[in-house]
Amino acid sequence: MDSGEKIKQVVKEKYGEIAKQGKMQSSRSCCCPDSSSGVDYSIFSEDYSKVEGYNPDADLGLGCGIPTESAKIKPGDTVLDLGSGAGMDAFVARRIVGESGLVIGVDMTESMIEKARENNQKLGYKNVEFRFGEIENLPVSDSTVDMVISNCVLNLVPDKFKAYQEIYRVLKPGGHFSISDVVLMGDLPPAIQSAAEMHAGCVAGALKKDHYLSIIKRAGFSDTLIVKEKPINIPDNMLSKYLSDDALQTFKNAGPVILSITVYAEKPQQYKERCSCCG
């Protein structure tokens, strides 16, 4: 098993546990889903409770933004939610697209798919569906989606360029995405970079901001815009599991290193097929 597959396995196990435990037992944030720490990490996630379409059963507090805010979703749109979890963002999108639209959620964790389908059955939506699959190989046909949303998930994907190629493939010409994610403004200490559970917590798998944006451009997207940005501060007692006191102080003195951003970008109306090997 290569390093990418190992990371995926850790992510599946961690998020499978959260799906079964629910919000109160999870640490309530993608940015360290470690219930053993006993810390409430809800400061990392956004408050969805006043968002139209909010469903408390689907709210596991695993996001780092509200991508639907800047998604420009319209009634009748087909929306794809990547890493859909228990369905929170998919249900918010459903509220906007209405009866004439379609919302598709994709997740690679079977227990999350089960939970999302259970929540959808309670809501009675006929035009929301959840598919098992990976972002690097989406179970979605070419050029069939008006827009893509995702909330703190792309950083978990080992091959981010392949992920954005897939987003480009499934979007219709002129389609767009709104994605909330975690990026870096500096270097993470090696101990954090190598920690498997910190990959599952969105942090170790994050790229530097400029590199992240360059991947989006290389995948073929245009009109890229960061519509929201905020620093993420991981509590000391989480970091101290990996860092010595001196290393922890050095990391904190460096200033904001980890950021939550929401990025908007478009697939051009006229586009060329992308080369799968070099973009």
Kindly report, residue by residue over 89-148, the tens digit of the pLDDT.
999 999 999 999 999 999 999 999 999 999 999 999 999 999 999 999 999 999 999 999
Q: Which domain holds residue 103?
A: 3-266
Other Cβ atoms less than 10 A from the Cβ of 123: the count is 14
* Lowest mean pLDDT segment, chosen from 3-7, 39-43, 97-101, 187-191: 39-43
Does residue 122 belong to any structural domain of this protein? yes
What is the predicted pLDDT for the residue at 34?
A: 47
Alpha-carbon distance 227 to 152, whole Å?
A: 15
Other Cβ atoms less than 10 A from the Cβ of 45: the count is 24
Pairing of strands 145-151, 171-184: parallel
Does residue 279 belong to any structural domain of this protein? no
Q: How far apart are the first and last CA of the chain?
A: 26
What is the predicted pLDDT for the residue at 254?
A: 77
At residue 190, does pLDDT exceed 90? no
The better pLDDT of the pair 123, 258 is held by 123
Partners of 102 in beta bridges: 78
CATH of the domain at 191: 3.40.50.150
What is the predicted pLDDT for the residue at 1?
A: 59
Q: Any idea what the Cα angle at residue 22 is, between residues 21 and 25, rounded to 5°?
A: 65
> Per-residue pLDDT tens for 242-252?
788 888 788 77
* Mean of pLDDT over the chain: 83
Alpha-carbon distance 207 to 213, whole Å?
A: 9
Q: Tell me the two tokens of residue 29.
A: 């944030």
Q: How confident is the model at residue 31 (pLDDT cuts 50, 70, 90)?
A: very low
At residue 13, does pLDDT exceed 90? no
Q: How confident is the model at residue 201 (pLDDT cuts 50, 70, 90)?
A: low
Task: For residue 95, give the amino acid letter.
Answer: R
What is the predicted pLDDT for the residue at 195?
A: 58
User: In the chain, how many domains are there?
Assistant: 1
